[in-house]
A and B are shown apart, each in its own frame.
Chain A
Amino acid sequence: DGGITQSPKYLFRKEGQNVTLSCEQNLNHDAMYWYRQDPGQGLRLIYYSQIVNDFQKGDIAEGYSVSREKKESFPLTVTSAQKNPTAFYLCASSITSGNNSPLHFGNGTRLTVT
């Protein structure tokens, strides 16, 4: 079955530690995205990548980093510089970055930092 896999589903970290969230897709999609969801806030774009070895900052990129070394993978690192890292993180992909391509989402990773 084609889809997007995010792991782990729940992640706990101590403040001051970097943590990497995994996102893998086998849909052969060119574009991939990371969103953050907070209660009552909707989804906010962190980073996106239109093609391998290329990525752009979204609306709330500070304190995060990404890489896109393979088409299938788009890991997100939450660094210690992110002031409020506790949130639900959603990875998505689309066939292209064109504005008519619907996004397909993974099941999300809930990160808790204490």
Chain B
Amino acid sequence: AQKVTQAQTEISVVEKEDVTLDCVYETRDTTYYLFWYKQPPSGELVFLIRRNSFDEQNEISGRYSWNFQKSTSSFNFTITASQVVDSAVYFCALRGGSEKLVFGKGTKLTVNP
């Protein structure tokens, strides 16, 4: 069975602080994909990144960076110098051999001015 755990239910930071959102996954598939999505208050989920199981390189996109470690089954997401517009619910998701995308329960990030 596939499972995604986001242990942090809610995080609150002050603007310009760095923040890391944790994601731990479980799967028996050798080939799988990991995703992060952002859900702002408007409701739609916005795709942020996809990472396949054979590529453990970390990725940086502007203030966002992702750390994928197969040894610990983790795919953590860091926002550097957070801004109020980063306030949202962030979901980590896993897709293995089946067509189903399995989501974690999400982490609500609040960035205060």
In the complex, chain A residues 30-45 whose Cβ is within 8 Å of any chain B Cβ: 31, 33, 40-45
Taking CB atoms, residues of chain A closer than 8 Å to B99 are: 31, 48, 50, 56, 97-99
Taking CB atoms, residues of chain B closer than 8 Å to A106 are: 44
Of A31, A50, A105, which one neighbours B45 at CB under 8 angstroms? A105
Check: A104 CB closer than 8 A to any chain B CB: yes
Q: In the complex the two chains form, what is the Cα distance from A56 to B100 in whole Å? A: 11
Contact check, B105 vs A41: say whether CB atoms are below 8 A apart: yes
Contact check, A100 vs B103: say whether CB atoms are below 8 A apart: no
In the complex, chain B residues 64-95 whose Cβ is within 8 Å of any chain A Cβ: 91, 95
Taking CB atoms, residues of chain B closer than 8 Å to A110 are: 43
The chain B residue sitting closest to A4, CB to CB, is B44
Contact check, A40 vs B33: say whether CB atoms are below 8 A apart: no
Taking CB atoms, residues of chain B closer than 8 Å to A108 are: 43-44
Contact size range, B: 20 to 34
Check: A107 CB closer than 8 A to any chain B CB: yes
The chain A residue sitting closest to B96, CB to CB, is A99
Check: A52 CB closer than 8 A to any chain B CB: no
Contact check, B101 vs A100: say whether CB atoms are below 8 A apart: no
Of B37, B42, B97, B100, which one neighbours A58 at CB under 8 angstroms? B100
Q: In the complex the two chains form, what is the Cα distance from A31 to B47 in whole Å? A: 16
Taking CB atoms, residues of chain A closer than 8 Å to B42 are: 107
Residues 52-65 of B, flagged 1 when their CB comes within 8 A of A and 0 if not, give 10000000000000
- Smallest Cβ distance from B96 to chain A, in angstroms? 6
The chain A residue sitting closest to B95, CB to CB, is A99
Q: List 9 contacting pairs A-B, 8 Å CB cutoff, sorted by A.
A: A42-B105, A48-B100, A97-B99, A100-B50, A102-B47, A103-B47, A106-B44, A107-B43, A107-B44
